[in-house]
């Protein structure tokens, strides 16, 4: 079985976002980049499936050279090899086109992604890739088991979940509790250094969207504190002042 795991390199979840260059670029100063938390779930499940069923796991990132630490970490966690498409990811369609181009070279049985990236939070790339490759796309996947050429899947829906069955190949967007996040061990870190990382130039595409500028949310006004003994006053304020109930 061949598994492709698509990963993003994103600001750590505790990052305070700031922009530079007249609000046209993320200020990367002091920002730690991590594997997208949902991508980490996808990778962890891929590595578990490899251990259980035997599979090759390839990691794919569309990004600049600064994404390489994240890619190496994925190799240390247990991926066999990696591909980096050397381009700044501009939008979901662009990224999907790159992923689809790579996926057309090799017949992957599973293309695992995170349910959404935590930078743009579109949750779109898996669906576009599925469409481009003519494969079903399913997200967000909470449980995944493979039996021969069939996947058993539990997917979250609004207010509940649903059990699905589908034949491979599939494109899946993953989330917890599909697997426990894995932390690389020393041996993994050593072997990761020599695992193959192939750098590929992007396929050219037409620009469908472009970000003109970024903005930070206006700070919330000062908090109005209510004494615990006057708690009931809150309900009055929500009605007469905030007008939300």
Ligand X SMILES: Cc1cc2nc3c(=O)[nH]c(=O)nc-3n(C[C@H](O)[C@H](O)[C@H](O)COP(=O)(O)OP(=O)(O)OC[C@H]3O[C@@H](n4cnc5c(N)ncnc54)[C@H](O)[C@@H]3O)c2cc1C
Q: Does 122 bind ligand AMP (CB under 6 A)?
A: yes
CB of 37 to ligand X, least distance (A): 4
Q: Does 37 bind ligand X (CB under 6 A)?
A: yes
Q: Are 197 and 59 in contact (CB under 8 A)?
A: no
- How many angstroms separate the CA atoms of 182 and 44, rounded? 6
How far apart, in Å, are the Cα atoms of 223 and each of 213, 233, 235?
30, 15, 16
Cis peptide bond prior to 169, omega within 30° of 0: yes
Q: Does 13 bind ligand X (CB under 6 A)?
A: yes
Q: Does 235 bind another protein (CB under 8 A)?
A: yes
Closer residue to another protein in complex, CB, 54/177: 177
- How many angstroms separate the CA atoms of 208 and 150, rounded? 36
Q: Does 136 bind another protein (CB under 8 A)?
A: yes
The one of ligand X, ligand AMP, another protein, none whose footprint includes residue 62, by CB under 5 to 8 A per kind, is ligand AMP
- How many angstroms separate the CA atoms of 212 and 21, rounded? 12
**3-state secondary structure (DSSP) of residue 62:** strand
Binding mask 38-77 toward another protein (x if CB under 8 A, else -) reads x---------------------------------------
What's the full length of the chain, in residues? 245
- How many angstroms separate the CA atoms of 62 and 161, rounded? 31
CB of 77 to ligand AMP, least distance (A): 15
CB of 240 to ligand AMP, least distance (A): 41
- How many angstroms separate the CA atoms of 61 and 54, rounded? 23
Applying the rule CB under 6 A, the residues between 75 and 104 that interact with ligand AMP are: 89, 92, 95
Q: Which residues bind ligand X (CB under 6 A)?
A: 13, 37
Q: Which residues bind ligand AMP (CB under 6 A)?
A: 6-8, 36, 38-39, 60-63, 89, 92, 95, 113-114, 116-117, 120-126
């Amino acid at each position: 079985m061949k598994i492709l795991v698509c990963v993003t390199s994103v600001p750590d979840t505790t990052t305070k976002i700031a922009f530079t260059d007249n609000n046209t670029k993320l200020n990367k100063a002091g920002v730690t980049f991590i594997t997208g938390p949902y991508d980490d779930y996808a990778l962890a499940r891929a590595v578990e499936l490899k251990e259980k069923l035997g599979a090759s796991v390839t990691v794919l990132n569309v990004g600049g050279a600064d994404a390489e630490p994240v890619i190496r970490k994925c190799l240390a966690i247990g991926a066999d090899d990696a591909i980096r498409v050397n381009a700044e990811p501009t939008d979901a369609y662009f990224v999907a086109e790159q992923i689809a181009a790579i996926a057309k070279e090799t017949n992957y049985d599973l293309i695992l992604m995170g349910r959404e990236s935590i930078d743009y939070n579109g949750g779109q790339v898996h669906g576009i890739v599925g469409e481009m490759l003519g494969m079903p796309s399913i997200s967000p996947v909470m449980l995944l088991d493979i039996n021969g050429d069939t996947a058993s899947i539990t997917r979250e829906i609004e207010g509940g979940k649903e059990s699905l069955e589908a034949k491979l190949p599939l494109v899946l967007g993953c989330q917890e509790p599909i697997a426990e996040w894995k932390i690389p061990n020393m041996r993994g870190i050593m072997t990761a250094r020599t695992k193959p990382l192939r750098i590929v130039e992007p396929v050219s595409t037409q620009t469908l969207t472009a970000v003109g500028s970024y903005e930070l949310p206006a700070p919330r006004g000062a908090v109005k504190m209510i004494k615990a003994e006057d708690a009931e006053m809150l309900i009055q304020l929500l009605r007469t002042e905030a007008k939300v109930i």
